[in-house]
Structure 1
Amino acid sequence: MSDTAKNEQVVRQLYDCIRRNDARGFAAVVSEKHTDHSNGRNGPAGFAQAVDNIHKAYSELKSELQLVVASGDLVVAQWRETGVHTGRFFNLKPTNKPFEATGLNMYRVVDGKIVDSWISVDPRTIRAQQAAQAAVDG
């Protein structure tokens, strides 16, 4: 298996951990030296915290990879998540409404572990959450 294929497999394992909310599993695929360039949740513990927050905020959470493209040490993943917003997510109170988010994440993999990540969520998702929150507060 080529290094590029191995790097793609690491990212696929990451998404398996996300689906299962497997805090210990992140240590197998995320370096302790990992830097999250988007929101500062670094290392395996940062991934575990972020994923746990999502699982607590959205019941019936489903996370799926739609496309994975790897080139050398970089892997890009297009993903989709759905669920029901039943718990607090950062400053957003539960709306008890269905939720859908899509995004593109890029990872740099070195020696079998993710060392850098960049996360981009579709801005329509953020606007929809803010509109739902305004309806709850209003």
Structure 2
Amino acid sequence: MTTKITELVRRDPEEIWTDGNLETIDDLFAESFVLHDPSSANEQRGRDEYREYVETYRAAFPDLEYAVETVIAEDDIAALRYTARGTHEGELLGLEPTGERVSVSGMEMYRVEDGRITEMWTSYDSLGLFQELGVVPPLEELDETSERD
């Protein structure tokens, strides 16, 4: 059972996010799917909202690639660690394209019922992403500023 869940959840970053096969969402996710993302104002509910969420990031980073580092599963839960890389070529959350190549690490936890993903908790280095895009200064610069005060 854990091998099936491991194979199932790997398809999200590999087929949907990297390959851009958004039709796969209908195969992998339950209609009642809920995404918990602390960097989003609202939880995405259902396949269509998740599809829009993916489209937003893929439009901003059209060459997006996910490298799955680790997947572990127990019972109906799987955890996945990844590194995502891409070039900021489209608007993201009001931020105009910077052309910057970024690398962001993150983790996701999936809950699976009846062979479909019903819930996902995601946490990625959003601070690091915005630092790489030049929106937020690197921590070293912040340290130097606080030392001068």
TM-score bracket for the superposition, by shorter chain length:
0.7 to 0.9
Q: TM-score, normalised by structure 2?
A: 0.80
1:33 deviates by 0.8
Query: Any residues of structure 2 matched to 1:24-43 within 5 Å, and which?
Result: 24-38=23-37, 39=40, 40-43=43-46
1:91 deviates by 2.3
Task: Give the structure 1 partner of residue 56 of structure 2.
Answer: 53
Q: TM-score, normalised by structure 1?
A: 0.86
**Are 2:102 and 2:129, in contact at CA under 8 Å, matched by a contact in 1?**
no
Larger strand percent: 1
Indicate the SS of the match to 1:50: helix
Partners of 1:123 and 1:86 in 2: CA distance? 17
Question: Runs (4+) of structure 1 moved beyond 6 Å?
Answer: none
**Are 1:93 and 1:133, in contact at CA under 8 Å, matched by a contact in 2?**
no
Higher-Rg member (1/2): 2
Over the aligned positions, Cα root-mean-square deviation in angstroms equals: 1.8
Task: Give the structure 2 partner of residue 11 of structure 1.
Answer: 9
Partners of 1:60 and 1:28 in 2: CA distance? 23
Identity %: 23
Question: Which structure 1 residue ranges, 5 or more long, are not aligned?
Answer: none
1:46 deviates by 2.3
**Are 1:23 and 1:45, in contact at CA under 8 Å, matched by a contact in 2?**
no
Determine if the alignment matches structure 1 residue 128 to structure 2 residue 127.
Answer: no
36-45 or 111-120: bigger deviation? 36-45
1:134 deviates by 6.0
Q: How many residues align?
A: 132
1:26 deviates by 0.5
Indicate the SS of the match to 1:132: coil
Determine if the alignment matches structure 1 residue 103 to structure 2 residue 102.
Answer: no
